[in-house]
């Protein structure tokens, strides 16, 4: 049986190619589908990572069979919870943007911060777990933790600047203040990173 992370990674590649193939759709709907899929994908990855930590913590106290059952049920429960929690919030946020409701600058910055930090942390936690297979970082948990934290902070700052500079939202669905703020950050993005 394929390892869960390899299965998620292959499904991510397949779905990314599918999203590229339907690029004729309007940018707003393509962005919505992409964020919705990424929320589901990263929620599952996060649940697997959390259940792995629980597995590592409990394996010295409880029998192996019982731990494996906990691992499976915890992964399923966390996946469903995180998918519902993140997807519903993204859907409500995109509906409010699409209907051109009054969106404050704080809410727009919150969205940018949430997406950038969320993507960076859990993509690199997954990346470090892949890396640990090859160089056996699990033998030294401190290296694994520090590497995850460092790469997460680096990518979150990089993605934050990129998301602000590219302004992925169509200008006609944004409020005037939000469009002005994003155009201002776009002018600032001409500086070298």
34-43, 93-102, 128-137: range with lowest mean pLDDT = 128-137
Share of the chain above pLDDT 70, in %: 0
Share the mean pLDDT of the chain: 54
Same domain, 95 and 106: no
How much is the pLDDT for 141?
A: 53
85 domain residue, yes or no? yes
Q: Where are the alpha helices (DSSP H) in the chain?
A: 4-21, 27-58, 64-98, 105-135, 141-166, 176-188
Same domain, 92 and 120: no
Q: What is the pLDDT of residues 144-193, one digit of tens each?
A: 555 555 555 555 555 555 555 554 444 433 444 444 444 444 443 444 44
Same domain, 92 and 19: yes
Same domain, 81 and 155: no
Expressed as residue numbers, the domain containing 131 is: 102-163
How much is the pLDDT for 47?
A: 61
174 domain residue, yes or no? no
pTM higher than 0.75, yes or no? Answer: no
Exposure of 23 in the CB half-sphere (CA atoms within 13 A): 4
29 domain residue, yes or no? yes
How much is the pLDDT for 2?
A: 41
Tokens of 99: 């209907």
User: How would DSSP label each residue in 42-88?
Assistant: HHHHHHHHHHHHHHHHHTTTS-HHHHHHHHHHHHHHHHHHHHHHHHH
The total number of structural domains in the chain stands at: 2
Same domain, 93 and 132: no
How much is the pLDDT for 169?
A: 44
Same domain, 112 and 81: no
Q: What is the pLDDT of residues 4-44, one digit of tens each?
A: 555 555 555 555 555 555 555 565 665 666 666 666 666 66
Q: What is the mean pLDDT of residues 76-81?
A: 60
C-beta neighbour count of 169 within 10 angstroms:
19
Question: How far is Cα 54 from Cα 125, in angstroms, rounded to an integer?
Answer: 15
């Amino acid at each position: 049986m394929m390892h869960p992370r390899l299965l998620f990674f292959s499904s991510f590649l397949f779905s990314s190619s599918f999203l590229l193939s339907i690029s004729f759709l309007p940018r707003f709907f393509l962005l919505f589908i992409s964020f919705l899929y990424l929320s589901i994908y990263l929620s599952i990855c996060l649940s697997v990572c959390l259940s792995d930590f629980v597995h590592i913590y409990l394996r010295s106290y409880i029998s192996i069979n019982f731990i494996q059952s906990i691992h499976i049920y915890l992964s399923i429960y966390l996946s469903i919870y995180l998918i519902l929690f993140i997807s519903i919030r993204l859907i409500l946020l995109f509906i409010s943007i699409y209907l051109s409701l009054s969106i404050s600058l704080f809410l727009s910055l919150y969205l940018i911060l949430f997406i950038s930090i969320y993507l960076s942390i859990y993509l690199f936690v997954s990346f470090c777990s892949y890396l640990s297979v090859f160089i056996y970082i699990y033998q030294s948990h401190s290296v694994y933790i520090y590497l995850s934290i460092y790469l997460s902070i680096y990518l979150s700052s990089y993605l934050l600047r990129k998301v602000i500079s590219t302004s992925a939202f169509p200008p006609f669905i944004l409020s005037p203040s939000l469009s002005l703020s994003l155009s201002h950050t776009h002018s600032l993005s001409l500086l070298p990173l």
